[in-house]
Amino acid sequence: MLPPPVDLACPAAQPDSPVTVEVLAAGFVPSRWERATNSGRKGPLRLPSLVGLVHHPDGTVLVDTGIGEATRRGEYPGWPLQALFHPELAPAGSIAAQVPEPPRLVVLTHLHYDHVSGLLDLPPTTVWMDRRDWWAYGPGAPGVPARRIADRHAVEPLDLDTPGVAGRALGRPAVDVFGDGAITVLSTPGHTPGSVSVLVQAADGPWLFIGDTFWLAEQLDGANRPWLTRLVVDSDPAELRASQAWTRWLAGHCPDLRVVPAHEPRWAEGAP
């Protein structure tokens, strides 16, 4: 494991925080354990597309949007990905049907279809992602409804890779969403060029939404995606190893921190 940066420490609890967090399942992708993790588990696996619902006094924030109606209709990700992965809408519907009010902001951990297609069901809002993902998967990219997202929403790519532009938090380039330390977007590239994680300082303790840095909770303890799966889905192995080492350090050293991989089945059933 890589050593942590010198400025990495556990996020302190903020019991007076007015922020609360929910984790919702917004769609599922049928798979198998042996395709998702090299821990030795085998058999059918139903991977949820998890969404973080963050209630802040200044407005609701969503972390990712899961699978939406466009996926149910077969529009995204489209052929051949639709036939290969058979994504399903959640029984409760897309994220638009599950949230009590339209979000003020959506933060996308990255631009893969199972994290973004629910955007097409939401009313117009502001959408943040790392600009490196927008360059890689923006309008014209196959399998991602980026042009329709840009037509519907106010897309604001974040500059997290130019030295001195972003701030820092937990040893990573970062942006404070509301300027109060409650919600912070952190650069954790590797799965995609601009993957991010989102730290939330809630009343019940800190939360860290890590997107697809890891898919499953067991991978925080040493398992990983199988090498062939990594070859297909991960963009930069070296950057991903650094982001994974950072995530594992926090998960292993910070007992009060809830780390939420984007496809952990137990979060679809309630907190692990």
pLDDT tens by residue, 165-209: 999 999 999 999 999 999 999 999 999 999 999 999 999 999 999
Question: What are the two backbone dihedrals, phi and then psi, of residue 183, each rounded to the nearest 5 degrees?
Answer: -135, 125
Q: What average pLDDT is seen over the chain?
A: 92
Region label for 184, one of left (φ > 0), alpha (ψ between -120 and 50) or beta (otherwise): beta
Q: What is the mean pLDDT of residues 64-69?
A: 95
Q: Which residue has the tokens 């998960």?
A: 251
pLDDT in tens, 142-161: 667 888 899 999 999 999 99
pTM, 2 dp: 0.94
Q: How confident is the model at residue 64 (pLDDT cuts 50, 70, 90)?
A: very high
Q: Please say whether the beta carbons of 70 and 27 come within 8 A.
A: no
Block residue for tokens 């950072």: 246
What is the assigned CATH class of domain 20-265?
Answer: alpha beta
Do 223 and 248 contact (CB within 8 A), yes or no?
no
> pLDDT by residue (tens digit) across 209-267?
999 999 999 999 999 999 999 999 999 999 999 999 999 999 999 999 999 999 999 99
